[in-house]
Amino acid sequence: MTRTERLPALTGKKSGELILIDKGEYREQLDLLAEAIGAVARLNNRQGARNAYDRCVKAIFETGKVPATCPTDSRAGSP
């Protein structure tokens, strides 16, 4: 993936038709949506880290030196 995907904005157009939904089911759907949003955020963070890693490795192979923008502590990502 080379570009950030842009999703269309939600318009919130009303149909005029109201429905009833159980509060527990609604809460579960909101929880699942929150989990999905969190998963996308984590994936974006991992991809950003991978992109930075790839840039550092490329620079090291091309110049033989570690750029100042690259981390040098091998334990930086360890828990």
Q: How confident is the model at residue 9 (pLDDT cuts 50, 70, 90)?
A: confident
Confidence (pLDDT) at 74: 62
CB 66 within 8 A of CB 72: yes
User: What is the rounded average pLDDT of the residues 35-56?
Assistant: 94
23 pLDDT exceeds 90?
yes
Query: Residue 56, exposed/middle/buried by CB under 10 A (0-12, 13-18, 19+)?
Result: middle
Percent of the chain with pLDDT over 90: 62
pTM: 0.60
What DSSP character marks residue 68?
A: T
